[in-house]
Chains A and B, each alone.
Chain A
Amino acid sequence: MVDQSDGELLSAIVRRDPAALVALYDRYARLSFALAYRILDQAPLAEEVVQDAFMSVWQRADSFDQARGGNVRAWLLTIVHNRALDVRRRMFGKRLPPVDLDEVDYLVSSPDPSAEVLRNLDRDRVRAAVAELPLEQRQAIELAYFDGLTHIEIAERTAAPLGTVKSRLRLGLQKLYAMLAFSEQIPGAGADR
């Protein structure tokens, strides 16, 4: 199954083929665990999140609309991300967003033209692009994405005005999008693969 595309694996998962789910796991376990661990900083909880995420893929594979060309990897990471932040918020006793997690996962599976441009990104390329971001912009994005902070909390954490934080988030993501969508080469990334 190692030669099959993500889409082919997902189709096999819809047909209840266990080997396909395991193959998807073998492909993305290290990235998924890295994300869960980055958010939770505890291996046992990160393990549970990864397990839950792959079981969610197993149970909800048919809800992912491949016909519209969605990105399986992005969908999986969104599931991991949402669940990890959910655990993290419960740990810290925070209010939970008024959305059903499973609904959010499903919504993200619907592709749109901007996301299409960023499909199948090479990870080294993303690393190089993130490294190019100004430090405050990168930090603001990280605090929101990995720590689940609101922009008000980020402003408090970084002792910056709220308007500055809003601007850093927007400019940082704009810059990241532009680098990934439009640059043939990113400084320091080496040959484009």
Chain B
Amino acid sequence: MRCWRFRSRFLALERTDDLARERTNIGDGGFEEPVVEQRLDSPEHARYQELLGAAAVDALTDDERLSLARHLATCQSCREELAALRAAAQAFPLALEDREPPPIVRFRIQAAIQHELDQQKSTELRPMPPQLHPVAAAPTPIRRRGLPRLVPWAAAAIFLVAALGLLAWNLSLRNETTTPTSQAIALQATQANNGAQGILTYLPDQHIFVLSFDRLPALPANRVYQVWLIHGKSPVPSGVFGVGTSDFAISGNRSDFQTLAITVEPGPLGSAAPTSSPILAASL
């Protein structure tokens, strides 16, 4: 068990169970300040030790966290233990089994990086792409406090597609030599159509459907447009987007589905199955 540690001949030290760190300045030059470390046999210390597991996985309440932080300032034993428990907690996710994300994630990241690099290079030469709304997959925009940094994923992906030269860059990154191909598919208004019109393009090499809209009609509050890829009688929910969207990309293999349809669904996440008739549909 660790003893009191002090480095000065003169101590002004109260023997209480108080955890406050005490400093005594004695004149100048020569004398070091005494450092009072936490007594390891105190009940206070034991109570804080009990919190270290929860602290390592951020499972404390705000008050407990602050209180523990004050204790840690005076207790090296707890600091060391917390560091070890945190390291173990950080190793925990390594036990998960791998899960393959859809290819479009890689594509979007590449597109966003290239978009950023291009913007940095030529903001004078090239006009900004039209303001596009990000994919509304989350209930509220995911903003970090202080530094809003939304990446316009839909915009970035379509920006890449629109400039075929960049698409070639994307392909060369993956060491492919095929030239980019695309297939236009007729997107037709159905009986329930509300005025929405658009163009559907399929990229067979990337298995990506790109929807482009000119002006999407306004929707009632709390409603979104939702895309479905339909196999036989089973519609697969394939993403939602809002009124301001010009372009929207989804991943899917054309040969797996017979139809693509767009409905209006309750927002912000849409529905598990369509609750209304399609407003636009395409035969694949």
Contacts and interface: CB of A to CB of B under 8 A. Distances in A.
Contact of A102 (B112, B135, B147): B147
B54 interface: yes
B144 A102 contact: yes
Interface residues of A, number: 80
A151 B59 CA distance: 5
B93 A81 contact: yes
Interface string B77-120: 00011011111111111111111111011101110111011000
Name, among B52, B88, B108, B147, the residue most crowded by chain A CB atoms within 10 Å (CB to CB): B88
Name, among A46, A78, A174, the residue most crowded by chain B CB atoms within 10 Å (CB to CB): A174
A127 to B, nearest CB: 5
B219 interface: no
Contact of A21 (B59, B108, B113, B153): B113
A12 interface: no
Nearest to B81: A174
Contact of B138 (A87, A126, A171): A87
B267 to A, nearest CB: 14
Given A47-B102, A51-B153, A86 B60 contact: no
Among all A-B residue pairs, the 4 with the closest Cβ atoms: A170-B53, A169-B53, A30-B98, A144-B57
B62 interface: yes
A33 B87 contact: no
B220 interface: no
B153 A171 contact: no
Contacts of A19: 173
A154 B87 contact: no
Contact of A47 (B105, B140, B146): B105
B121 to A, nearest CB: 11
Nearest to A180: B91
A168 B54 CA distance: 9
Nearest to A123: B94
Given A90-B139, A114-B87, A30 B60 contact: no
Interface in A104-139: 108, 112-115, 117-118, 121, 123, 126-127, 129-130
Given A16-B117, A48-B153, A121-B91, A154 B59 contact: yes
B109 A127 contact: no
A160 interface: no
A150 B61 contact: yes
A50 B102 CA distance: 11
Interface residues of B, number: 61
Interface in A37-63: 37-38, 43-48, 50-52, 54-55, 58-59
A97 interface: yes
Q: Is the interface of A mostly helix, strand, loop or mixed?
A: helix
A115 B87 CA distance: 5
Contact of A50 (B54, B88, B101): B101
A19 B137 CA distance: 28
B93 A31 contact: yes
Contacts of B90: 74, 77-78, 108, 115, 118
Name, among B91, B106, B139, B144, the residue most crowded by chain A CB atoms within 10 Å (CB to CB): B91
Interface in B43-58: 49-54, 56-58
B173 A173 contact: no
A130 B95 CA distance: 7
B145 interface: yes
Contact of A173 (B80, B85, B146): B85
Contact of A174 (B85, B105, B153): B85
7 contacts: A35-B96, A90-B142, A117-B87, A144-B59, A150-B61, A173-B53, A174-B88
A59 B116 CA distance: 10
Interface string A81-103: 10100110011000001101110
A101 B101 contact: no
Contact of A55 (B104, B112, B140): B112
Name, among A77, A86, A170, the residue most crowded by chain B CB atoms within 10 Å (CB to CB): A170
B91 A118 contact: yes
A61 to B, nearest CB: 12
Contacts of A31: 93-94, 96, 98
Contacts of A86: 142
B203 interface: no
